[in-house]
Amino acid sequence: MTYERWTLRTDTTSYTVRLSPDGPWAELDAWGPHGCEDGPSALDWSRRTHFLTPADAAPAEYLPYGMRPFTGSDLVASRPGRERGVWWEFDGAEAGEGSLRLAFTDDVLGLRTVLCYATAPGTDVVLRWTEHTCTGDEPLRLERFDSAAVNVPAPDGVRLTYLTGQWSQEFQRTRLDLTRGAFTMGSVQGVPGHAYAPWLALQDRSAPQDGPSPAYGVALEWPGNWHITAEAEPGGAVRVRAGRVPHEGAVLLAPGDTLTTPRLACAFSPDGLDGLARVQHRYERRLTGGRLHRTRKVLYNSWEATGFDVDAAGQLQLAEAAAGIGAELFVVDDGWFTGRDDDTGGLGDWYPDPKAFPEGFDRFVADVRALGLDFGLWLEPEAVSPGSRLHAEHPDWVYRIDGRPARLVRNQLLLDLGREDVQDFVVATLDRLLTAYDISYLKWDMNRPPTERGRPGAGPADLLDLDAAHVTGYLRVLDHLRTAHPHVTVEGCAGGGGRVDHATLARTDVVWPSDNTAPLDRLRIQYGFLHAHAPHVMSSWVTDAPGVFDPRARSLAFRFVTAICGVLGIGADLRAWNRGQRAEAARWIARYKQVRDVIHLGEARLLGTPDDPTCGVQYDAPDGTRTVVAAFSTGRLDGAPLVPGRPARLRLRALDPAARYHDAHTGAAYSGAHLLHYGLPFAWTARHDAELVELVKQ
């Protein structure tokens, strides 16, 4: 018997869905390189079901509780006060160029669900999401409404790779073998959070640890509460579900209303985690759109130099030093506004402190720009200090629960950005600052999660959807910034890397992966970050910060090469640097400017890991004419020249073995075959622990 099948094609992969022969649902038939759909499905099964149902054993693309009662459903719906469960029928397909919509209806419950698919041109990403419409005359209660589920054949289980951490230790690459059972990660902090990133990669458990092998990845586009769950199911398959998590535990869908879930980016590469990273990078370059080709300027940020002690004279002194070493942008961080002598006050009252800028803030900005620098400003738009004028005038604007204490985190409260009046206030504040002053860079920070998350007076709490409302408000403000102030570069930050997801990345230019800028700590953070996110969005600073988790000393060169792996910034107190340090900094900045187009627009390859004595990142220009290698010494030295020793080597990848490659800095020349077989040599010493190499193809 023949069943309907649909194939979505990306640049090099195919994603084939079919109607199941076992019931009214869609299931995955094939996912991999072009042509993998030509043959018996690797996900097909014997159709023997002992103590479960066919829907529980099927590689279903999306199934509700009721039809799939035992092994993990993607939708849990009911009428209020009635039994949970959906039993739907197929209601038609709409297939277009690079798109597919499969509809299912339950007329008894009053629900229409559409499974949505779209390819992202120029990438190997298939986007999936779901639309739920209440078609009856009673509201529906949705306890779970995941975006999608993906299936991976794995007779012996899978190796999961995911990014874990905490504040100042984000994006740590972590691995887990899953043979049976379930693995879940997520956040209920109102943002993706520091503990887990909304990204997961899967490989067969027997695949090489860091070599080419089929790799599947999912990433959720949602800057609020979320989960990703992987379940090793009976019969040798692993199924991954992902979606948002409502703060109230459920969402009520009114008659006629439609709920659209966040998009899930589903990626495949035959080249392991390294190849999967490049798929993710290409997709994020597409998300950036036309802003991708805007030069990401060398930034100086004053926070680590001055903290809250901000005044015009001190900031100008730093700006002069920054301009002197080649910085292109000066950003004043926290402490520039009224009432902000420390972290106990001022948030919400976004007016420059006249005591700190006695000749006016506009004069100060003009003085910075006269040095040849662009000007940027830090804000925390969602935050408010209890003693601020804003809080005195609008105490109802903060999240709170009547009869419960208002808990302070970092001495501040959080505005309910789901309210339109709060959104309007934030928009008006940003418009005022960006119109009154010549500001070309905005750093949006968020330093506390919502705790007592309520909105008294807005009706029954179980009818609200506060998490989605906050996300909607956040994205509305960012969309306004992009439209009303297109020249402004926007940096996303949430106490470091607490809000990094595709919805944020589509609306910002860079994100701040971590507040930890210590050299070896930062190297490990960036190594994990680059598995899921592109170099052109990774803001990284050179500072004097000592190690938090790895205190081994490293050179200024190591700090610069680490920061050059993304978008270079400086945060050290330049007033304390001697002439030699400033001169070295100027040389590194000049070298960065020569290669940043390759780093931001090229193909990145991760060479080894920070656990190896030598590791690095290789960046290849889109036209293949230049290769940039950032290399690091993280292990013991070989004792040379006191005892016999040989240079460390990094084997490069994807070069032309027949071509010659010329080192633009030293003049050394290599064949492509040599670099692929033996590798690029590095003679590490205690003082020479990092290098940046630019190879030009002859």
For residues 144 and 244, the answer to whether their CB atoms sit within 8 Å is no
Report whether 362 belongs to an annotated binding site. no
204, 445, 465, 501: which is the annotated catalytic residue? Answer: 445
Q: How far is it, in rounded angstroms, from Cα 120 to Cα 263?
A: 12
Report residue 553 as tokens.
Answer: 């000393």
146, 353, 416, 515: which is the annotated catalytic residue? Answer: 515
What lies within 8 Å, CB to CB, of 10 at 6+ separation is 119, 120, 123, 124, 125, 126
Known catalytic membership, residue 623: no
Q: How far is it, in rounded angstroms, from Cα 379 to Cα 484?
A: 18
- Residue located via tokens 């951490």: 165
Report whether 410 belongs to an annotated binding site. yes
Q: How many CB atoms lie within 10 A of CB 558?
A: 22
- Residue located via tokens 């043959």: 39
What lies within 8 Å, CB to CB, of 97 at 6+ separation is none
Phi and psi (nearest 5°) for 377? -140, 145
Output 460-465 pairs: Cβ under 8 A, ≥24 positions apart.
Answer: 461/248, 462/248, 462/249, 462/250, 462/252, 463/252, 464/248, 465/246, 465/247, 465/248, 465/251
Q: Could you give the C-alpha distances from 481 to 381, 470, 476, in angstroms and in order? A: 13, 17, 9
Q: How many CB atoms lie within 10 A of CB 386?
A: 17
Report whether 167 belongs to an annotated binding site. yes
Report whether 446 belongs to an annotated binding site. yes
Report whether 493 belongs to an annotated binding site. yes
Q: If DSSP codes are grouped into helix, strand and coil, which group holds residue 15?
A: strand
Question: Quick one: DSSP state of residue 115?
Answer: E
- Residue located via tokens 């038939």: 29
Q: How far is it, in rounded angstroms, from Cα 409 to Cα 495?
A: 12
Write down the H helix ranges in 402-459. Answer: 420-436
Dihedral angle over CA of 147, 152, 155, 161, nearest 10: -80
Question: Could you write out the DSSP letters of every residue in 254-307?
Answer: -TT-EEEPPPEEEEEETTHHHHHHHHHHHHHHHHHGGGGGS--PPEEE-HHHHT
Output 335-342 pairs: Cβ under 8 A, ≥24 positions apart.
Answer: 335/306, 335/307, 335/308, 335/309, 335/310, 336/310, 336/361, 336/377, 336/378, 339/385, 339/387, 339/388, 340/308, 340/310, 341/308, 342/308
Q: How many CB atoms lie within 10 A of CB 666?
A: 10
Q: How far is it, in rounded angstroms, from Cα 514 to Cα 522?
A: 8
Report whether 445 belongs to an annotated binding site. yes
Report whether 443 belongs to an annotated binding site. yes
What lies within 8 Å, CB to CB, of 388 at 6+ separation is 339, 345, 346, 347, 348, 349
Q: Residue 19 corresponds to which amino acid?
A: L
Known catalytic membership, residue 573: no
Question: Which segments are annotated as binding site for substrate?
Answer: 167, 333-334, 410, 443-447, 493, 515
Question: Which segments are annotated as binding site?
Answer: 167, 333-334, 410, 443-447, 493, 515
- Which residues are known to be catalytic? 445, 515
